[in-house]
Structure 1
Amino acid sequence: MSFTAWLKAQYDEKGPARWLAFLLELIAAIMLMALMLITCIDVVGRYVFNNPIPGAIELTQISMAILVFAVMPVVTWRGGHIVVDLLDNYLSSLLLKALSLIAALTISVSFYFLGKRIFELGARSIRRGEVTEFLGIPSGYLVQYIAIMSWITAVGMITYGVYRILFQDKSN
């Protein structure tokens, strides 16, 4: 089986969204593997050799931020968040679609403005030369990564998320 055939079989998204979902999930998988390795090596180093990895906590925090914000766009446009559907049996499907559309637009606008503010904070952090406490890694770039992932989430929700709400059958 070719890679493209495998990708098509594993991902429901269409066109560039499929490749973007794969790329973002690949980044998350790499970060998860890095987290596992950092944790295992740090624990063995700490308890067996009495010599932990310097800055393991910072590396864990940075890896977690990269992991969480890499999958945020994919989870959002797939509608993978927790949803309370207490009234779904009592409301018409047209009203449910309208409410879903309003929610998607609200999420998109929120992520856009959130990303805008976070990007400004990242730029300020870069200008001031702020770095992590122990390893001295510039923190502004990670903050701007979070902002960019928020914008990708907003765009993904407004495009593919709205497409799924309007044109895909709920029984799939």
Structure 2
Amino acid sequence: MFGLIKFVERLAENASRFVSNLAAIILFLLVVLTCADVIGRYFLSMPVVGAVELVRICMAGIIFFSLPAMFFRNDHVTVDLIAFFAKGRVGWIISIVMLVISIYVAYRIGDRVFDYAVRAFEDKDTTEYLGIPRVITVSFITLSIYAAAVMAFIRLLVVFSSSGKDFSADGEDIK
């Protein structure tokens, strides 16, 4: 059982690295798009047509393609008000509870976004200027949210398989 969890953990690490690289590529494309729009707008009096729509799509890609890696690596923004709760058996239990809540919330949000993707497909909804079908963007967002829920589940398996007394929520070795 422990070997299977390690295999799934390595597989999830590779998947999270892939989507992180995808988000980085989209960020690079966003930088190129913005530079081309600024140069075209101010020096050539020819802005990039639909740049605002493309920036919106790129921002959605960066944010939502980063979610699975964030959930898997436990890179959430946290505030440690009482740091001693993050270690030992209490931290282990709190981490399990928070991961279960995160999985549920991600699944519910993914379900709602999936409904929106179906509606966008049925209505043949497109963007205002470029006419890009919204179902493409919303489908990738839906997949990313579901992937984030799966990554959180894998993280839950990894945390659940660790012993509670030697656990630290931030990944530090407390021995």
- Superposition TM-score, scaled by structure 1 size: 0.86
String of CA shifts for 1:56-93, please: whole Å, max 9, x gaps. Answer: 01001101101111111101221111112212226762
* Partner SS, residue 73 of structure 1: helix
- CA deviation after TM superposition for structure 1 residue 117, in Å: 1.1
Gaps of at least 5 residues in structure 2 are 1-7
Q: How many residues end up aligned between the 2 structures?
A: 160
Hey, what's the Cα distance between the residues in 2 that align with 1:14 and 1:56?
39
Hey, what's the Cα distance between the residues in 1 that align with 2:9 and 2:111?
28
Residue 122 (structure 1) aligned with residue 117 (structure 2): yes
Q: 1:91 to 1:119 in 2, by over 3 A?
A: closer
- CA deviation after TM superposition for structure 1 residue 161, in Å: 4.2
Amino acid at match of 2:25: I
Once the two structures are superposed, the pairs formed by residues 17-166 of structure 1 within 5 Å of their partners are 17-89=12-84, 93-164=88-159, 166=161
Hey, what's the Cα distance between the residues in 1 that align with 2:124 and 2:18?
30
Hey, what's the Cα distance between the residues in 2 that align with 1:51 and 1:91?
55
- CA deviation after TM superposition for structure 1 residue 166, in Å: 4.7
* Partner SS, residue 29 of structure 1: helix
Hey, what's the Cα distance between the residues in 1 that align with 2:100 and 2:121?
31
- CA deviation after TM superposition for structure 1 residue 158, in Å: 1.1
Hey, what's the Cα distance between the residues in 1 that align with 2:114 and 2:107?
10
Hey, what's the Cα distance between the residues in 1 that align with 2:69 and 2:27?
16
- CA deviation after TM superposition for structure 1 residue 15, in Å: 2.2
Taking only the aligned residue pairs, the percentage that are identical comes to: 28
Hey, what's the Cα distance between the residues in 2 that align with 1:120 and 1:100?
30
> Which 4+ runs in 1 deviate beyond 3 A?
none
Gaps of at least 5 residues in structure 1 are 1-12
String of CA shifts for 1:11-47, please: whole Å, max 9, x gaps. Answer: xx94211220221011111101100100000000000
Report the RMSD for the aligned CA atoms in angstroms. 1.9
